[in-house]
Structure 1
Amino acid sequence: MTEEEINAAALSDPDCPPLTEEQLSRAVRIVSVKGLRQRLHLTQKEFAERFRLPLGTVRDWEQSRVIPDVAARVLLTLIDRAPKLVEKTLQKSARPPSVFREEFL
């Protein structure tokens, strides 16, 4: 298909018209969690554990059941740009899980 034919087909689709320049300018780019995880050569479980995320949340993001909120998008962007720094920072701030439980008992 030529570019002209593609545009004509898009314009003729009433269910999914092309976005205007204004709509495109307001669009938010979301990091592909699956793509990010695969670039890091991690399983879902490894990714979740390394970055202290619930495994179910990682699965939901990857399967597009849930869109990451603003805070999650910031974290994912940081992981995308500096994964070792994020991992190191999280390790430094980590306390054993038992410490958290004792605080609330």
Structure 2
Amino acid sequence: MSQTESIVRMDAEGRLHRVGPDGAFEPVEVPPVPPMGEAEIVASAAADADNPPITPEDVARLRRVPRTKTLRRALRLTQEEFAARYHIPLGTLRDWEQGRTEPDQPARAYLRVIANDPEGTRRALEKPKG
């Protein structure tokens, strides 16, 4: 038995076509995949060694990404830049981002203000020139 190489392309409608040696397209019939039931989905996920399903124990040990870090990254600022721009002590920001402490209620409100209007907040904090 010899092995041959086939080139298959997908058209804009999602149909597959085999490209022949002469460049001609030949439709490839692919039978539809039957839908899986819940038990089959769970069994298939459990059998995938590279990406096993998350167990409740896994969830308990996972650390969520603090929103402060997400906000800072969305603004494309380093910790030092974010802390200086919004007058937050650098150590406090690091503690929040590393999960050692949580922002208290006023700090969470301030972070929401920053998230809603980062430039307006920055301008409001600038010292007036003169």
Q: Which TM-score tier does this pair reach, normalised by the shorter chain?
A: 0.5 to 0.7
Matches within 5 A, 1:8-87: 32-87=67-122
Larger radius of gyration between Structure 1 and Structure 2: 2
What amino acid sits opposite 2:109 in the alignment? Answer: V
1:11-49 residue CA offsets vs partner (Å, 9 max, x unmatched): xx7xx6xxxxxxxxxxxxxx7011100000000000000
* CA–CA separation in structure 1 for the residues paired with 2:117 and 2:67: 15
Q: Which has the higher strand share?
A: 2
Q: 1:69 to 1:42 in 2, by over 3 A?
A: same
What TM-score, normalized by structure 2, do the two folds share?
A: 0.49
Q: Note the C-alpha offset of 1:92.
A: 3.9
Runs of 4+ in 1 over 4 A off after TM superposition: none
Higher helix proportion: 1
Distance 1:52 1:79, change over 3 A: same
1:97 alignment counterpart? none
Q: TM-score, normalised by structure 1?
A: 0.59
RMSD of aligned C-alpha atoms?
2.8
| Matched residue, 1:20 | none
Of structures 1 and 2, the one with the larger relative CO (CA 8 A, separation 6+) is 1
Aligned length: 73
Q: Which runs of 5+ in 1 are unaligned?
A: 17-30, 95-105
Q: Which amino acid aligns with 2:122?
A: E
